[in-house]
């Protein structure tokens, strides 16, 4: 007999069981046995994944370059506690995402289309596709920067980075089901921790780091445009539209139910904590370049760190960039495929075979191939692409968050799991902050372009 906690994940009566249903039911049976036998650690291990991947996937190449660029430009100062605040924001948003996915068993794109009509559903998917393509280009930039450090040649680094990134997307897809894909990407995501020893070996001024972590120092001086760019890119490094699409669809693909919400919160919280620590580590490592000229002149952070604080730090940072770019390639490609599959109404699950979910598998590979091709164009402004990818995410994020709040607050949809007033207040403040950061940078850049300031 199917346990009640798992029944919501099964198809409606009268519908035939698909390959996707059978594979997901095997995973849910393991969850049910662990819950029935009181194996708490085993249950937690079985249920974690989407939250960790969303958070660590967002510690991607552009984000780590953005943190390092901020540290190089301004030191730890204001931005260390600001990173902690942005990851608290990320937890608030992604907890809603997880809850909506577990209750409805549908992805964000599908729900927006069903609740608010095709126009808004396709608009959300179109915005995501554009943002994801720019971000995927930036991921290959990060992988290329890491590979170039070890090869000593940017000419060979581009093709090799492209081959590695696309190859890993194909390998992950070939694993044949969501559970294996998730564990493969989680194994790679563990290497995001390489930024911690890089920060330690950079010999930071620990008194300054502790003071920065515990107190907000005033905003630093310097170019207002650069400061606004780094503020917007720091926000865009922690909360982005692809995370919303990915975690909600992954929660549905994994088969999470309302009974799993508590563990889903653990999953998301642990991911936020790890990602915050690793992001702060990238900032601290980058701060070793504070006061050293030329830190923002290109995507050569690993080489600059090698010259200033030693080859060990440069190597760790380069490996971290490769990992950050690769994990994000896998998760962002998946979020794109989930979104388009949901809007089209075709099969969109790693638990389906390529024959039954051809569009889903094709989009996963196609977006990675297109992004890889772009980084092979000679003379592309690499660091500018990486930093502005996060700014673009900040500008487009408010609309995504508004729909998320509406979905999470819909009692007809969510029942007793709908947002409380306090959650809506916190989410509304986050939307206001994100909107302000994106608008301030956009307005200032426009005024400067037309020479009004």
Q: Name the residue among 439, 434, 354, 338 with its Cα closest to residue 85.
A: 434
What string of pLDDT tens digits covers the 453 residues of the chain? Answer: 444 444 444 455 556 667 777 778 888 888 888 888 888 888 888 889 999 999 999 898 888 888 888 888 888 877 888 888 889 999 999 999 999 999 999 999 889 998 998 888 888 888 888 889 888 998 998 898 889 888 876 678 889 999 999 999 999 999 988 999 999 999 999 999 999 999 999 988 888 888 877 776 666 665 666 666 667 767 766 778 899 999 999 999 998 999 999 999 999 999 999 999 999 999 999 888 877 655 444 457 888 888 888 889 999 999 999 999 999 999 999 999 999 998 888 888 898 888 888 999 999 999 999 999 988 887 767 666 666 776 777 777 888 889 999 999 999 999 999 999 999 999 888 888 888 777 776 666 656 655 555
Tokens at 327, concatenated = 């994990």
Q: Give the pLDDT confidence of 398-429 residue by residue, as tens digits.
A: 888 899 999 999 999 999 999 999 999 998 88
d(CA 159, CA 252): 35
Measured in whole angstroms, how far is the alpha carbon of residue 374 from the centre of its chain?
21
pLDDT on residue 37: 86
pLDDT on residue 2: 44
pLDDT on residue 371: 92
User: Are residues 341 and 146 in contact, defined by beta-carbon separation less than 8 angstroms?
Assistant: no
One-letter-per-residue 3-state SS of the chain: CCCHHHHCCCCCCCCCCCHHHHHHHHHHHHHHHHHHCCCHHHHHHHHCCHHHHHHHHHCCHHHHHHHHHHHHHHCCCCHHHHHHHHHHHHHHHHHHHHHHHHHHCCCHHHHHHHHHCHHHHHHHHHHHHHHHHHHHHHHHHHHHHHHHHHHCCHHHHHHHHHHHHHHHHHHHHCCCCHHHHHHHHHHHHHHHHHHHHHHHHCCCCHHHHHHHHHCCCCCCCCCHHHHHHHHHHHHHCCCCHHHHHHHHHHHHHHCCCHHHHHHHHHHHHHHHHHHHHHHHHHHHHHHHHCCCCCCCCCCCHHHHHHHHHCHHHHHHHHHHHHHHHHHHHHHHHHHHHHHHHHHHCCCCCCCCCCCCCHHHHHHHHHHHHHHHHHHCCCCCCHHHHHHHHHHHHHHHHHHHHHHHHHHHHCHHHHHHHCCCHHHHHHHHHHHHHHHHHHHHHHHHHHHHHCCCC
d(CA 74, CA 52): 29
pTM over 0.95: no
d(CA 302, CA 67): 13
d(CA 393, CA 15): 39
pLDDT on residue 7: 45
Domains and CATH numbers, the chain: 45-449 (1.20.1740.10)
pLDDT on residue 295: 44
User: Are residues 58 and 268 in contact, defined by beta-carbon separation less than 8 angstroms?
Assistant: no
């Amino acid at each position: 007999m199917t346990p009640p906690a798992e029944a919501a994940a099964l198809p409606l009566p009268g519908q035939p069981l698909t390959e996707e249903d059978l594979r997901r039911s095997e995973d849910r049976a393991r969850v049910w046995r662990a819950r029935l036998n009181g194996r708490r650690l085993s249950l937690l291990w079985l249920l974690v994944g989407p939250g960790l991947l969303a958070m660590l996937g967002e510690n991607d190449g552009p984000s780590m370059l953005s943190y390092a660029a901020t540290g190089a430009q301004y030191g730890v100062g204001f931005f260390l506690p600001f990173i902690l605040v942005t990851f608290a924001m990320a937890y608030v948003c992604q907890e809603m995402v997880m809850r909506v996915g577990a209750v409805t068993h549908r992805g964000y794109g599908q729900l927006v289309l069903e609740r608010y009509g095709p126009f808004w559903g396709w608009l959300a998917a179109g915005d995501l596709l554009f943002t994801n393509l720019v971000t995927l280009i930036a991921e290959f930039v990060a992988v290329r920067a890491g590979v170039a450090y070890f090869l000593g040649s940017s000419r060979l680094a581009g093709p090799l980075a492209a081959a590695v990134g696309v190859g890993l997307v194909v390998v992950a897809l070939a694993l044949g089901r969501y559970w294996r894909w998730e564990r493969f990407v989680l194994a790679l995501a563990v290497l995001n921790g390489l930024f911690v020893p890089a920060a330690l070996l950079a010999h930071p001024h620990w008194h300054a780091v502790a003071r920065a972590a515990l107190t907000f120092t005033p905003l630093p001086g310097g170019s207002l445009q650069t400061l606004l760019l780094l503020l917007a890119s720091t926000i865009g490094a922690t909360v982005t539209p692809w995370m919303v699409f990915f975690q909600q669809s992954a929660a549905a693909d994994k088969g999470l139910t309302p009974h799993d919400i508590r563990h889903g919160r653990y999953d998301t919280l642990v991911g936020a904590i790890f990602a915050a620590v690793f992001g702060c580590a990238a900032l601290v490592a980058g701060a070793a370049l504070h006061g050293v000229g030329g830190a923002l002149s290109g995507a050569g952070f690993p080489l600059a760190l090698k010259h200033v604080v030693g080859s060990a730090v440069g190597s760790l940072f380069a490996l971290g960039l490769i990992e950050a770019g690769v994990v994000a390639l896998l998760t962002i490609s998946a979020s794109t495929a989930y979104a388009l599959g949901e809007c089209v109404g075709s099969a969109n699950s790693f638990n389906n075979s390529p024959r039954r979910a051809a569009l889903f598998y094709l989009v996963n590979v196609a977006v990675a191939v297109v992004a890889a091709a772009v980084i092979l164009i000679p003379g592309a402004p690499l660091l500018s692409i990486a930093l502005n990818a996060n700014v673009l995410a900040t500008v487009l994020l408010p609309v995504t968050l508004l729909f998320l709040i509406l979905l999470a607050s819909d009692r007809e949809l969510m029942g007793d799991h709908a947002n409380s007033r306090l959650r809506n207040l916190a989410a509304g403040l986050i939307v206001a902050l994100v909107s302000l950061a994106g608008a301030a940078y956009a307005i200032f850049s426009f005024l400067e372009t037309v020479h009004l300031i």
